[in-house]
């Protein structure tokens, strides 16, 4: 289904910068690392996506990007690294693809690799609170999502699909394969 019209939000500018973020962005740009972000949603789905993004970013050549600097501090080293990277991995918590939809307007679509974590584990849809799922289980499910993402990336997952996640794709993968 075609979404409703695109829309914009206005963001207050800043002259501030995060010292460690500048170092992190510059180093990863220099080393050609691939940024990974999650939707950072407040619910259990966002938390599992966040944990999965942390796990994927421990693998080579991936490193954790920051959606906050990417969206609101465009001159930061992290935002510059993410805009220039050959691809950006986005793990959204669910089918709403909150960060994937934003990123499509910040990075060329063919450089985005989008995932829907919920499509991998298909549980907890009646829960919001993160702590409604025991920590050990959260971590186990995040590991499953991360392994699915790592496997899809290893198979050359590339570029966004125009109509969201397709059933013919690996579980959770919302982009086209080569």
Binding site residues, ligand SF4, CB under 6 A: 39, 41, 43, 45-46, 92-94, 96-98
Choice between 118 and 153, CB closer to ligand SF4: 118
Choice between 33 and 45, CB closer to ligand SF4: 45
CB distance 97 to 46 below 8 Å? no
- Is 28 strand, coil or helix? helix
Choice between 77 and 119, CB closer to ligand SF4: 119
CB of 50 to ligand SF4, least distance (A): 9
CB of 75 to ligand SF4, least distance (A): 25
CB distance 151 to 173 below 8 Å? no
Choice between 96 and 161, CB closer to ligand SF4: 96
CB distance 141 to 48 below 8 Å? yes
CB of 93 to ligand SF4, least distance (A): 3
């Amino acid at each position: 289904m075609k979404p409703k019209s695109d829309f914009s939000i206005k963001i207050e500018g800043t002259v501030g910068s995060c010292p460690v973020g500048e170092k992190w962005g510059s180093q990863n740009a220099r080393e050609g690392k691939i940024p990974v972000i999650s939707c950072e949603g407040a619910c259990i789905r966002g938390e599992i996506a966040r944990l999965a993004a942390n796990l994927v970013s421990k693998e080579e050549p991936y490193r954790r990007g920051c959606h906050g600097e990417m969206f609101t501090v465009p001159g930061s080293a992290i935002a510059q690294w993410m805009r220039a990277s050959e691809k950006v991995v986005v793990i959204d918590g669910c089918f709403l693809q909150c960060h994937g939809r934003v990123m499509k307007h910040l990075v060329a679509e063919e450089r985005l690799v989008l995932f829907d974590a919920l499509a991998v584990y298909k549980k907890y849809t009646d829960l919001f609170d993160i702590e409604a799922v025991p920590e050990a289980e959260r971590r186990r499910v995040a590991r499953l999502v991360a392994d699915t993402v790592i496997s899809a990336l290893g198979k050359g997952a590339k570029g966004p699909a125009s109509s969201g996640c397709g059933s013919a794709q690996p579980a959770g993968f919302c982009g086209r394969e080569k």
